[in-house]
Chain A
Amino acid sequence: MTELWVLPLLAGCGLMLLAAPLGSLLVWQRMAFFADALAHASLLGVGIGLLFFWAPLPGALFGTLLFALLLWRAEQVRSLAADTWLGVLSHGSLALGLLLVYGYAPPGINLSALLIGDVLGVTHFDLWALLVVLVLGLTWLVWRWKALMLSVLSPDLAQAEGINLNALRGQFMVLLAAVVALAIQWVGVLLISSLMLIPAAAARGWSREPEQMVFSAAVIGMLSVGLGIAASWHWDWPTGPAIVVVALGLFAISLAVARLQKRL
C-alpha cells in the first residue's frame, strides 16, 4: 500500500536532484526548448524500438542520444541557426514517433500513457536505473561545474582559458538525453521539460549566486513532486500534470515574493 506512493516519491525527488542543475543550465543558456525536443526524440526512439520489440526505456534512450548527437553535429553547419535546427528535428521526430507508436504499439503500450506519463507506475528497476544516472550525472556536474558556469557566462572567455566547449556541450547533451529518456515514462513526453524549467525559473528571481539557484530549484522541484503526488492521491488526478501544476503555483508565488522583496 505505502509502496504505491513511496517509489514515485523517491523517483521524483531523485529526478529533481538532476533536473535542478540541468534546468538551471538550460534557463541560463536560453535552451528552454531543448528538453522538449529531446522528449519528442524519445518518442521517436520508443517508436523505432517497437519495430525491434524493445522495451520503452532503451528505445527512448536510443532516441534522445541519437537526437543529441544529430543536433550537436548540426550546430556546426552554419547555414541554419541553432533554433531552426531544433525546430526541424524536434517536430520531425515527434511526427515520426507518433506515426510509429500509432502503427506498431502492442496492446500493453498506449500513446496517451507515453504522452502524459505514469508516475505511479515506477518500478524497482526504474529506481536502480535512476540511481546509476544520478551518481554518474552528479559526479560529472560537480567535476565540470566551474567550467560549465564559465562557458555559460562567456563562451569566449571559457575557450580562451582552455576549456573545450565542444566536448563540454557534447557531455551535457548526453547527460540531458539520459535524464529525459529515464523520466519520460513517469512524466510523459509533453511535460518532462516543464519539470526542468519551471523550478529553475522560479528560483531565478531571488538567486544571487548560481549554486543558490540550483539548490532552490531542487527544493522547489521536490516540493512540487511531493505535493503533486499527494494531490493526485487525494483527488485522483493524473500525477504528471498535478506535479507540474503545483510547480507552476510555486513559480507564481516565488515571482510575487521576489517582486515584493524588490519593492521593500
Chain B
Amino acid sequence: MNESRRIVASGLAEREGRCVAPWMVSSRLVSLQNSLHHPTMNADPRPEQPPTDPSAEDGAAPLARLAEVTLNKGQRAVLDRISLQIMPRQIVTIVGPNGAGKSTLLRALLGLESPDSGQVWRQPGLTIGYMPQRLPLNQLFPVSVGRFMRLQGKPARAAVEDALAMTGVVHLTDRPLAGLSGGELQRVLLARAIVQKPDLLVLDEPVQGVDFMGEAALYRLIHSLKETLDCSVLMVSHDLHVVMAATDQVICLNHHVCCQGAPETVESHPEFVQIFGQRDAATLGVYHHHHTHHHDLSEQGGPAVRD
C-alpha cells in the first residue's frame, strides 16, 4: 500500500506564520491540567489501567508507519528520514517549532503528499478522521452543516446531533457550511470525525482559532475520544503543557525527529530543551509532577467542567 498519488488542486499551503507561541503563556495551565483529567464522556473509567499506559506495545500491529521518509520542497528537506509508528489506542503528539514540517508529516502520512524517498504504509481498510489546520472549502458548493456531517457513511440523525452537541455547535446544524467561521468549522470537523468513528484521528492544530475556554474543553474532549471511540490520535500541537499531560508518545520534530518517546523521557532530552528553552522545559517538569498525581487529583474532585 505505497500511496504515491498526487493531489489535484490542493490549496493547503504550508503557512506557519503565527507569532504567538501558546506555551509561553503559563498562568492558565493549572486549571487546564485539572480539567484535562476529568473526561466527562467516559461513564465507567477502567480502574485497573494506568492512564499513560502505552497500551499497544504488546505485539499489536501498528495502524500506520513511516519508514525513512524524506520529502523535499524546493531545495530544502522538509522531512528528513522520518520513521515512526502509530500503534492502536495511542495518543501521539508532534511538537516542534514553526516550519518544522509538522503539517507536512501529517499530510505525508495521509497520502496527500508523496515522499521523495522512504515508505508510507497504512493498515489496509484503516478509517481516518482528518481535521486539518485550515480547510479550504469549496464556497460554491451549497451544503448545510447537517448534510455535510452525513457525507461519509450513514450516520444516524441522533448521532450527528450528539456529536455536534459534544463539540458545542449543535445550533449550527441548519446553517450553510460556507458561512462558518474558522473556529466553528474546526468544531464541526471534529464532530464529523467523531461521527465517523475512525480508527485513527489526525488533528492538525486542533484548537486553532478557538477561544480559551473552548480550547480547554476541546483538548479534554480529544483526550476522552481515545477511550470512547477506541481509536488512536495523531495530533500536531503548539500547546506543550497540554500535550505533555495528555499524550502517550511525543515526537519532537525539527525536519528530523529530534527525540521521541513518553513525555517523561522526551522532556529531559537535550535537543528538546534546546528547542523549547530551559525555562519552558523546567515548567513542564512542574506540570509533569501534577500529572503523576493524577489519581489523587481526580479523587479530590477537581473543577469538573461540563459542556
Contact = CB atoms under 8 A, between A and B. Distances in A.
Nearest to B154: A146
Chain A contact patch, size range: 20 to 34
A244 B302 CA distance: 69
B136 A160 contact: no
A152 B7 contact: no
A171 interface: no
Interface stretch (B33-41, B127-135, B289-297): B127-135
A146 B152 contact: yes
A160 B130 contact: yes
B10 A156 contact: yes
Nearest to A212: B142
Given A159-B111, A165-B5, A209-B147, A152 B128 contact: no
Interface in A23-41: 27-30
Contacts of B135: 154, 156-157
A168 to B, nearest CB: 10
A28 B138 contact: yes
A150 B9 CA distance: 14
B110 interface: yes
23 contacts: A27-B140, A30-B140, A152-B141, A153-B138, A153-B141, A153-B148, A154-B135, A154-B136, A155-B8, A156-B10, A156-B12, A156-B136, A157-B135, A159-B111, A160-B110, A160-B112, A160-B130, A161-B128, A161-B130, A161-B152, A162-B126, A204-B140, A209-B144
A27 B129 CA distance: 28
Contacts of A156: 7, 10, 12, 112, 130, 132, 135-136
A213 interface: yes
A160 B140 CA distance: 21
A232 interface: no
Interface string A159-174: 1111011100100000
Nearest to B109: A160
Interface in B1-57: 5-10, 12
B176 interface: yes
Given A160-B128, A160-B130, A165-B5, A153 B111 contact: no
A126 interface: no
A153 B151 CA distance: 10
B137 A154 contact: yes
B180 interface: no
B143 interface: yes
Nearest to A150: B151
A149 B202 contact: no
A208 interface: yes
Given A76-B6, A162-B128, 10 more contacts: A150-B152, A152-B141, A153-B137, A153-B141, A154-B137, A159-B112, A160-B130, A161-B128, A166-B5, A209-B142
- Max chain A Cβ within 10 angstroms of own Cβ: one of B5, B8, B177: B8
Contact of A149 (B126, B129, B141): B141
A210 B148 CA distance: 10
Interface residues of B, number: 33
* A contact patch SS: helix
Nearest to B130: A160
Contacts of B151: 146, 149-150, 153
A213 B144 CA distance: 13
Interface string A115-152: 00000000000000000000000000000001001101
Contact of A208 (B9, B127, B130, B176): B176
B142 A210 contact: yes
- Max chain B Cβ within 10 angstroms of own Cβ: one of A82, A157, A207: A157
Contact of A210 (B129, B136, B141, B196): B141
Contacts of A166: 5
Contacts of B147: 209-210
Nearest to B148: A153
Interface string A65-93: 00000000001101000100000000000
Given A149-B143, A149-B151, A159 B5 contact: yes
Interface in A208-232: 208-210, 212-213
A155 B142 contact: no
A155 B135 CA distance: 10
Contacts of B152: 146, 150, 161
B230 to A, nearest CB: 18
Contacts of A162: 126-128
Contact of B110 (A159, A207, A209): A159
A15 to B, nearest CB: 24
A88 B257 CA distance: 46
B14 to A, nearest CB: 13
Contacts of B138: 28-29, 152-154
Nearest to A213: B142
Contacts of B112: 156, 159-160
Given A146-B151, A160-B112, A75 B141 contact: no
